[in-house]
Chain A
Amino acid sequence: MDQLLYASEVIVNGLMTGVMYSLVALGFVLIYKASGVFNYAQGVMALFAALTLVGIMQGQVPFAHLINAAFGTHLENFGWNVPALLAILLTAAVMVLLAIAIEKLVLQHLVGQEPIILFMATIGLAYFLEGLGDVMWGADVRTLDVGLPQGISETIETATNDWLGYGFFIDRLDIWATIIAAVLVAALVAFSQYTKQGRAMRAVADDHQAALSVGISLQFIWIMVWSIAGFVALVAGIMWGTKSGVQFSLSLIALKALPVLMLGGFTSIPGAIVGGLIIGVGEKLFEFIMSSPDLAGSWFGFTISATENWFAYVLALIFLVFRPQGLFGERIIERV
């Protein structure tokens, strides 16, 4: 019974982590649907957004490191602090600029190339952004606090304690992340269903040529989609940055989002959400079972730990062998 309670706590926490994965995966799906580009740089965009946000909030001078090295000055700070909301808006503006730059400098020149070339270009973009973020804002680990509540939620703990005799530990940040993710998804769905631009975006996703022929500007749609993806990256960056500090490892969540996408299918927004939840719950539960001496220890005679590193990939790999297009992906039809 105790094990069951622990396991259900693990499942709830896994669901919350899954929501965070879904947030990153959403950015991938948006760009993939609209432009057919598999944007590996999504994770680094989240890192870049979080770094920019912290930098703006703390009033850091951008490129201070570079300027100091080149001209021998000692610039550090402007000496002011920007309130969180304004900083978020400014960062969103930076992400839009970034989207425009990416469209003009990279995507425009690669129209019509094979998908794999585009994918590799975004790996290059990821490296560039990683370097740019470090050069602009320095490479130290920073804490990000935009006023989101953190820490264990006592309400839930006491409520579950009274009810089940065992208090669930759930981070308030995770609850907020879930709510924000839900709002974000609802907003995105509403946007793509009910607005003119959203419909244009879906048209482009459906068929580039047909969309062009009815007068939709591909350039504008791409910039818009990359901006939205930048905004999603910003939200993901805020969540992950608040949770574990703004540092390089933030960009590695992109790698975690990949198996999520493979499970859910690259083209499906609900798929990204469900895939994220499956991966989140799966890896937490697997780790819990395999590292517990009472469960794996008594069943197999050994325990293993730190399985979170690879569980998601192996799960996705095994899953794909049976269903190559993912859970909700469009059926792959091959012709010669």
Chain B
Amino acid sequence: MFYREAGDFKTSYRDDGQSFPIKLDRYGYYAILAVAAVVVPFAINDYWANAVLLPFLIYAIAAIGLNILVGYAGQVSLGTGGFMAVGAYAVYKLMTSFPEISIVIHILLAGGITALVGIAFGLPSLRIKGFYLAVATLAAQFFLVWLFNKVPWFYNYSASGQINAPERTVLGWAVTGPAATPSAKYLICLAFVVLLAWVARNLTRGMVGRKWMAIRDMDIAAEIIGVNPLTAKLTAFGVSSFFIGVAGALLFAVYLGAAEVTEAFGINKSFLILFMVIIGGLGSIFGSFAGAAFLVLLPVLLKNLLVGGLGWPTNLAAHIELMIVGALIIFFLIVEPHGLARLWQLVKEKLRLWPFPH
């Protein structure tokens, strides 16, 4: 009754090709954006920013990136942590080498550098498929982490081997370093999320995205109908790595402030992002957000419930969290292999008919 497309007439091709063709979707999107940009920055505090909002936004970018690769192009990657590390170390080197240039440009450049690295590690995907590729991307994960650990040039020869983000400002507001306020950090992340999600949405429904999906569904058939697997696979790796690199740069510079590569960008991060994509829904931008929100909120919720509510020790809560995450992944794969995004779609279908089912 309330969610419907009747009466929403499109009189031009431009109208028909909008990011959100249904009016209610579009208004909902604007409303969420308005709340996120205008209301949240004033209501935000340190706990909410650090425990929920910043990780959610940053992981959402990474999840969109991985979703492009796994969900749209069908190339399973376990190297996300390594690529995030590339973004983080690229932005660190750029920040410290060219302090006069804006950090926004640095973050975008870091994404570009990660894209190049991603393309290099994506080259074997032309020969290797399926599991073999998934395992081959582990080479990227372990090699990159080792490289940032062992070559002192990357961490500017600091004694601890850590990298620390110096203070940088955007429009006069500090966004990195200890002086940055939660709302400034939040807003810069939000800006990147909105921009990149828009790019991803339009890439995936355009020609590039269709080529990716053709490769995913059956690569030989796609090749026969004229999709060049070389460009399709490498663009998927490049675009995906760009997103993941930006996420890594934000994670280090804005969220963590200081990072040690094995701890911040280990294999666990790769799996975390992969789970976000699976739980959220393969091949869906909305799913990437849903998955990121779910896996960021779940530990916070469980911790509050078990440690705060029942008074259990934190390590026990952490173990139970592992069990729940594992069980949920299996549950989702059994019940709904298309993840939260599919559930959301079903809800929308139902809402369209409600309350008159015929």
Please list the residues of chain A having a beta carbon within 8 angstroms of any beta carbon in chain B: 38, 65-66, 69-70, 105-106, 109-110, 113, 115-117, 119-121, 123-132, 134-135, 139, 255, 258-259, 261-262, 266, 304-307, 309-310, 313-314, 316-317, 320-321, 324, 334-336
Residues of chain A within 8 A (CB-CB) of B135 are: 258-259, 261-262, 313, 316
Q: Which of B132, B142, B311 has the most CB of A within 10 A?
A: B132
* Dominant secondary structure at the A interface: helix
- Summed over the interface, the residue pairs from A and B with CB atoms below 8 Å come to a total of 141
Contacts of B333 in A (CB 8 A): 110, 113, 117, 120-121, 124
Minimal beta-carbon separation of B119 from chain A (angstroms): 15
Q: How far is the CA of A304 from the CA of B149 in the complex (A)?
A: 11
Q: Is B310 an interface residue (CB 8 A)?
A: yes
Interfacial chain B residues near A317, Cβ < 8 Å = 124, 128, 136, 139
**Can you report 19 residue pairs joining A to B where beta carbons are below 8 Å apart?**
A66-B320, A69-B312, A115-B131, A121-B329, A124-B327, A124-B328, A127-B325, A128-B327, A130-B322, A131-B322, A255-B267, A306-B146, A309-B145, A314-B139, A316-B136, A317-B139, A320-B124, A320-B132, A336-B221
How many Å lie between the Cα of A301 and that of B219 in the bound state?
A: 45
Residues of A contacting B274 in the complex (Cβ-Cβ under 8 angstroms): 120, 123
Does A313 lie within 8 Å of B337, measured CB to CB? no
Q: Which residues of B contact A130 (CB under 8 A)?
A: 322, 326
Contact B132 A139 (CB under 8 A): no
User: Contact: B319 with A134, CB < 8 Å?
Assistant: yes
Interface size of B by CB at 8 A reads 50
- Chain B neighbourhood of A116, CB < 8 A: 76, 130-131
Q: Provide the residues of chain B in CB contact with A307, threshold 8 Å.
A: 146
State how many angstroms separate the Cβ of A107 from the closest Cβ of chain B.
10
Residues on B with C-beta less than 8 A from A261 are 135
User: Is B298 on the interface with A (CB-CB < 8 A)?
Assistant: no
> Measured between alpha carbons, how far is A131 from B316 in the docked complex, in Å?
9
CB pair B323 A127 closer than 8 Å: yes
- Do A324 and B129 have beta carbons less than 8 Å apart? yes
Task: Determine the chain B residues whose CB is within 8 A of the CB of A335 once the complex forms.
Answer: 220
Contact check: which of A65, A119, A127 meets B326 at CB < 8 Å?
A127
Q: Does B313 contact A (CB under 8 A)?
A: yes
User: Do A258 and B334 contact each other (CB < 8 Å), given the known contacts A306-B146, A324-B128?
Assistant: no
Inside 8 A of A304's CB, which chain B residues have their CB? 150
Q: Is the CB of B138 within 8 A of A127?
A: no
* Among B129, B139, B143, B323: residue with most chain A CB under 10 A: B139
Tell me whether B43 is interfacial, beta carbon within 8 Å: no
CB pair B218 A38 closer than 8 Å? no
Please state if B323 and A119 are interface contacts (CB–CB under 8 Å). no
Taking Cβ atoms with an 8 Å cutoff, the residues of B that contact A are: 76, 124, 127-132, 134-136, 138-139, 141-143, 145-146, 149-150, 218, 220-221, 224, 267, 271, 274-275, 278, 310-313, 315-316, 319-330, 333-334, 337
Given pairs A124-B330, A258-B135, A313-B136, 13 additional interface contacts (CB within 8 A): A66-B320, A117-B333, A119-B134, A121-B333, A124-B325, A135-B320, A255-B138, A306-B149, A313-B141, A317-B124, A317-B139, A320-B124, A321-B127
- A334, B326: Cβ atoms closer than 8 Å: no
Closest 10 CB pairs of A and B: A128-B326, A124-B329, A131-B322, A127-B326, A131-B323, A313-B139, A310-B142, A134-B319, A310-B143, A69-B312
B residues near A119, Cβ cutoff 8 Å: 131, 134
Of A38, A258, A310, A336, most B-chain CB atoms within 10 Å: A310
Q: Is the CB of B127 within 8 A of A324?
A: yes
Choose among B224, B320, B321 the residue with the greatest number of A CB atoms under 10 Å from its CB. Answer: B320
User: Known contacts being A69-B316, A106-B334, A127-B329, is A135 close to B143, with CB within 8 Å?
Assistant: no
Which residues of B are found within 8 Å of A38, using beta-carbon distances? 131
> Among A113, A125, A128, A320, which residue has its beta carbon within 8 angstroms of that of B136?
A320
For A134, list chain B residues within 8 Å (CB): 315, 319, 322
The answer to whether A305 touches B124 (Cβ under 8 A) is no
A301 to chain B, nearest CB (A): 15
The smallest C-beta distance from A32 to any residue of chain B, in angstroms, reads 9
Chain A residues positioned under 8 Å from B326 (CB to CB): 124-131
Alpha-carbon separation in the docked complex, A121 to B329 (Å): 7
> Which single member of B224, B316, B321 contacts A66 (CB below 8 Å)?
B316
A110 closest partner in B (C-beta):
B334
Min CB gap A112→B, angstroms: 11
